[in-house]
């Protein structure tokens, strides 16, 4: 019996299943950086502030001088940001900050409300600055929509990389072959093992066969094929830029083609509550969305303590995390 439920093309963002809200995959081949950590090339011809069209292999997004997303609010869900290549500079309204990349991940619970910025500093001036990044929106159940915001860093060195035959599975959330991911945020849907939330980045070598294990419960499972040439799943031939909804109670056998292939897996027990969304707010009702907008207009969710909305850290700074209580971790 095939475990494939449906196959669909990947758009921008990628469609997801409950408990996830969506996933964005950023792949930008940024050029050398300038003294301001922006691109050392002309920005003419770009719609600065809303540059989402790939031009010369990269985008500025909402940035005007540095690529990225200047300060903006969130409420009612979580973001999990995985940076495989390049760097991301985080700053938020709690006073927390960080620079992470080269395999690190950041887990942020917006809860009752937070502002943050995510900028992509181009630190190399004599070489290219490629960026590969996933941002995953994970919903919060109604009971946790108004918890205190929370920020944590999952350093690359602490995220398990399970090697089985020649395949590599990076376990950002959940467990694989007995290897547990770092603890998620305390109020996350992923904090309860019974919800079987998993975020795995899977790299398969040419001509390799790999088996996704079955789940304990009837949960939602989606596999995203984002890099490679061809693979076969349950005798169904696939090419990159496709998602596959799978029956999680069944094992799934993937037979890779003659080049390396990369997949992202998202799974979890659905929250199964109404979802009301408007931009950066995710609640259960439209009335709660209106309340979130009004509160943000009045309070700015604590205001913005940084000198610029597109704040970045000094070029000399390495990977680090500064937490709201002042704790500093440097890598």
Rounded Cα distance, 70 and 192, in Å: 32
Rounded Cα distance, 239 and 261, in Å: 10
Interval 196-209: pLDDT, tens: 999 999 999 999 99
**Residue 181 burial (10 A CB sphere; 0-12, 13-18, 19+):** buried
Residue 234 has a pLDDT of 87
Closest of 317, 315, 313 to residue 34, by C-alpha: 315
Residue 34 has a pLDDT of 98
Going through 49-185 in order, the beta strands assigned E by DSSP cover 68-74, 77-85, 87-92, 97-101, 105-109, 114-119, 129-139, 150-154, 161-164, 167-173, 175-176, 179-180
Residue 145 has a pLDDT of 98
Residue 164 has a pLDDT of 82
Residue 165 has a pLDDT of 81
Residue 82 has a pLDDT of 98
Residue 67 has a pLDDT of 98
List average pLDDT for each run of 10 residues in the chain, which is 331 residues long.
92 97 98 98 97 97 98 98 98 97 97 98 98 98 98 97 91 96 96 98 96 95 98 94 97 96 98 97 98 97 96 97 96 96
Residue 36 has a pLDDT of 97
Q: Residue 260: phi, psi to the nearest 5?
A: -60, 140
Rounded Cα distance, 9 and 12, in Å: 10
Residue 190 has a pLDDT of 98
Instruction: Give kind and range of the element (H or E) at residue 290.
Output: helix 286-299
């Amino acid at each position: 019996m095939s475990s494939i439920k449906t196959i669909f093309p990947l758009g921008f963002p990628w469609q997801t299943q409950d408990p996830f809200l969506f996933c964005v995959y950023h792949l930008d081949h940024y050029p050398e950086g300038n003294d301001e950590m922006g691109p050392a090339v002309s920005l003419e011809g770009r719609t600065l502030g809303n540059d989402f069209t790939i031009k010369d292999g990269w985008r500025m997004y909402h940035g005007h001088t540095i690529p990225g997303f200047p300060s903006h609010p969130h409420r009612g869900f979580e973001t999990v940001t995985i940076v495989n290549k390049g760097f991301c500079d985080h700053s938020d309204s709690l006073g927390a900050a960080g620079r992470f990349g080269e395999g690190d991940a950041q887990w942020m619970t917006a809860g009752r409300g937070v502002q943050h910025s995510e900028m992509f500093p181009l630190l190399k001036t004599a070489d290219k600055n490629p960026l590969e990044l996933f941002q995953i929106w994970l919903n919060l159940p109604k009971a946790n929509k108004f918890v205190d915001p929370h920020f944590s860093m999952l350093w690359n060195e602490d995220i398990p990389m399970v090697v089985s035959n020649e395949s590599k599975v990076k376990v950002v959330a959940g467990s694989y072959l007995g290897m547990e991911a770092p603890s998620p945020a305390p109020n996350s849907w992923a904090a309860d093992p019974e919800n079987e939330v998993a975020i795995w980045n899977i790299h398969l070598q040419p001509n390799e066969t790999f088996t996704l294990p079955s789940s304990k419960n009837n949960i939602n499972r989606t596999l995203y094929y984002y890099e490679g040439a061809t693979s076969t799943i349950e005798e169904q031939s696939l090419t990159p830029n496709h998602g596959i909804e799978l029956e999680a109670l069944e094992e799934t056998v993937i037979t890779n083609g003659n080049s390396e292939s990369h997949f992202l897996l998202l799974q979890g027990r659905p929250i199964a509550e109404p979802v009301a969304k408007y931009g950066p707010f995710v609640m259960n009702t439209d009335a709660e969305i209106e309340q979130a907008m009004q509160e943000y207009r009045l309070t700015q969710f604590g205001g913005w303590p940084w000198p610029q909305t597109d704040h970045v850290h000094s070029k000399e700074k390495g990977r680090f995390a500064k937490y709201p209580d002042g704790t500093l971790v440097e890598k």
